[in-house]
Chains A and B, each alone.
Chain A
Amino acid sequence: MDAYIQGLGLVLDPYVLLVMLLAGGFGLFMGAVPGLSATMATALLVPVTFFMEPVPAVAAIVSATAAAIFAGDVPGVLLRIPGTPASAAYTDEAYRMTQKGEAELALGVCLVTSVIGGLFGAVVLMLAAPLLAEFALGFSSFEYFWLALLGLTSAAFVASDRPLRGLVSLLLGLLLAGVGMDPISGFARFTFGSVDLMAGVNLIPAMVGMFAVTEVLRGVTRGFEADGAPTKGVGNVFKGLGRVLARYKLNLLRGNVLGTIIGALPGAGADIAAWISYALARRFSKEPEKFGTGHVEGLVDAGASNNSALAGAWIPAMVFGIPGDSITAIVIGVLYMKGMNPGPTVFLEQPQFVYAVFLAFFVANLMMLPLGWAAIKAAKPILAVPRDLLMPVILLFCVVGSFAINNAVFDVGVMLAVGLVAWLMEENGFPVAPIILGLVLGPLVEQNFLTSMIKADGELIAFFERPVAAVLGVLTLAVWLYPLVGLARRREREAAGGRARSGAG
């Protein structure tokens, strides 16, 4: 208890709060510009934190990443260009809402669910870190394989109005993910001699191409004002929010829980959490047909999920020094630098620092409410600019953002190539979102499958031998077979009805 109070004192220091505020602003910018991400924001903050005490250093990173993950939603809602991969799962849905005139609701939902998700994750972090860390580290390649496969299956739910086309997009995404060095043997696949391709197709330039370049191409062919996007400012984002949240409180809870758990799994971060949450929301919704037309339900789940995943990622990071996502991979380095060696001993030797980190999460997410609101309002002058002037400028930002990841012009080429193909695909009714899912989860599925096969000496039954793997495996197979069962039952009912009618007549 004493340590808590000490931790509180460490966080509620005016210098720390100021640092968090500035870092939050920085995070908002990094999240909102397509091509810049929360991970990059963290990486760029590291040299700045050299000169800080441990608590403000870590608090700055916490604040920046929370703001960045929310800020990615803003261009997604207003321009259909996600600012970070974590927002890509529901960008289409959110933009449909904007086209229906519900941009304020979409933004408000994204903001408030982000805050609630972050707070939930912070609470779980405080209460259950060691326990969840034990569970998360019990995951071996078998469990990861089933989880990744389950995630891929969610693509089928995300595009269920035109399943064949969604499947094609997913397969193309998986194929794209195969470019580069094979995860097990290191053999360079589909590189055709290019050194740049040996690292594979980078997710962010591909994503920027898929969303930003396609938007620009759509605009120059169909006219920029043609799709009903908002041109004046955004109104009151909090209007009608209470009703939405009350209606979908179960979704909110599910998004929070799922996000925290997925974040706690090493290697799975906010973007995967958002995808799986959105897909599950669609699968278990009482009105699944509304998804894709601009329905707010999926945003509640996924908006909360990606922010709670941020907090969840700190669980294995703090308890074992094993990163939960790419952001915490960098953070662990910072922790070591500041003498807060992550691991069980840090809870014993420096509890006040640990609690300060947890409390920083709270404060950062609460701070995000006014900061995010300000960011949304700041979007107003940007929206007033005529689209045919704005979009080419955004395109230049995207070019520089794509370049900035590896300092390679090759990535700009990737952005262009992927953008062109994606534009042609979308013109022909192929959804673009499953490509990203394939890119993100493909390597996970393949690597864990092959690793598991090596461990099991080629015995396929090994995928069901471990308890958690067996449960996940059965769940995945059930999810695959469920629609067939439903089909069979319906056929039976129709046949019975036909028999009854012909019998009575």
Chain B
Amino acid sequence: MRINDAAIGGLLLALALAVFVHAGSFPPTPGQPYGPSLFPRIIALGLGGAGLLLIVGGLRARRDGGVWVDLDAWARSGRGWANVLAVVLALVAYILLSGLLGFLLTGFVVLASLLLWLRGPRRLPSALAVSAAAVVVIHLIFVRLLAVPLPRGALETLIG
């Protein structure tokens, strides 16, 4: 899914301007000519310049018959975007729920759901089996062996 360079350049230019202006609010280091605003402003200048170049290139491509958005095969169907959304939702669900429900339950549900969505409902047994195995292995390695405090929930307190 390629967006025209001019649009990307415009985005970068906007970002650069925002950074430059925001950096003006940084307090200077007392007694020094350069403070925390220096490097962000230099970076903003660079990004702005690059953005302008991209805009020029993009507009030129448009003039030569380019499009604003060039969609690949996957981007035209709904399925590709739905899959992206599925991955994002899975990760967001983990982030929000793991503290509440503990790693074992959240990890299992999130992974199984994602596998189910990607591979189809006929692969339910393998999705469940693989998710259970993965979650158990991770628990053994990270919690038991490496002593990483993964979030604890009902299942964890059950097994002790």
State the Cβ distance, B43 to closest chain A Cβ, in Å: 5
Set of chain B residues within 8 Å of A164, measured between Cβ atoms: 50, 53-54, 57
**For the complex, what is the distance from the CA of A213 to the CA of B92, rounded to whole Å?**
13
Beta-carbon contact of A400 and B126 below 8 Å: no
Q: How many interface residues does B have (CB within 8 Å)?
A: 63
Between A393, A446, A454, the greatest number of chain B beta carbons within 10 A of the residue's beta carbon is seen for A393
- Contact with B118, one of A388, A428, A450 (Cβ below 8 angstroms): A388
**For the complex, what is the distance from the CA of A427 to the CA of B2, rounded to whole Å?**
6
Question: Known interface pairs A220-B80, A427-B1. Does A416 touch B95 (Cβ–Cβ under 8 Å)?
Answer: yes
Beta-carbon contact of B50 and A185 below 8 Å: no
State the Cβ distance, B111 to closest chain A Cβ, in Å: 5
Interface SS of chain A: helix, strand, loop or mixed?
Answer: helix
Task: Kindly identify, within residues 110 to 160 of chain B, every residue whose CB is under 8 Å from any CB belonging to chain A.
Answer: 110-111, 114-115, 118-119, 126, 130, 134-135, 138, 142, 146-151
Beta-carbon contact of A221 and B138 below 8 Å: no
Beta-carbon contact of A407 and B149 below 8 Å: yes
Set of chain B residues within 8 Å of A174, measured between Cβ atoms: 39, 43
Between A184, A388, A396, A403, the greatest number of chain B beta carbons within 10 A of the residue's beta carbon is seen for A396
State the Cβ distance, A307 to closest chain B Cβ, in Å: 24
Beta-carbon contact of A168 and B29 below 8 Å: no
* Chain B 38-80 interface mask (CB, 8 Å, partner A; 1/0): 1110010011001001100100000000000000101100001
Question: Known interface pairs A389-B130, A392-B111, A392-B114. Does A446 touch B39 (Cβ–Cβ under 8 Å)?
Answer: yes
**For the complex, what is the distance from the CA of A221 to the CA of B98, rounded to whole Å?**
27
Beta-carbon contact of B36 and A184 below 8 Å: yes
**For the complex, what is the distance from the CA of A178 to the CA of B22, rounded to whole Å?**
13
Interface SS of chain B: helix, strand, loop or mixed?
Answer: helix
Beta-carbon contact of A389 and B115 below 8 Å: yes
Beta-carbon contact of A416 and B91 below 8 Å: yes
**For the complex, what is the distance from the CA of A168 to the CA of B9, rounded to whole Å?**
10
| Inter-chain CB contacts under 8 Å: number | 144
State the Cβ distance, A191 to closest chain B Cβ, in Å: 12
Set of chain B residues within 8 Å of A393, measured between Cβ atoms: 111, 130, 134
B14: Cβ under 8 A from any A Cβ: no
A399: Cβ under 8 A from any B Cβ: yes
Beta-carbon contact of B95 and A221 below 8 Å: no
- Contact with A400, one of B8, B32, B150 (Cβ below 8 angstroms): B150
B101: Cβ under 8 A from any A Cβ: no
Set of chain B residues within 8 Å of A389, measured between Cβ atoms: 115, 119, 126, 130
State the Cβ distance, A44 to closest chain B Cβ, in Å: 6
Beta-carbon contact of B138 and A400 below 8 Å: yes
A123: Cβ under 8 A from any B Cβ: no
- Contact with B50, one of A44, A171, A395, A458 (Cβ below 8 angstroms): A171
**For the complex, what is the distance from the CA of A403 to the CA of B151, rounded to whole Å?**
10
Give 10 pairs: A residue, B residue, CB < 8 Å, sorted on A. A178-B39, A189-B23, A220-B84, A392-B114, A395-B87, A396-B134, A400-B142, A412-B91, A416-B92, A458-B33
Closest 4 CB pairs of A and B: A220-B83, A182-B36, A221-B80, A404-B148
Give B contacts to A, CB under 8 Å: 1-3, 8, 12, 19, 22-23, 26-27, 29, 32-36, 38-40, 43, 46-47, 50, 53-54, 57, 72, 74-75, 80-81, 83-84, 86-88, 90-92, 94-95, 98-99, 103, 107, 110-111, 114-115, 118-119, 126, 130, 134-135, 138, 142, 146-151
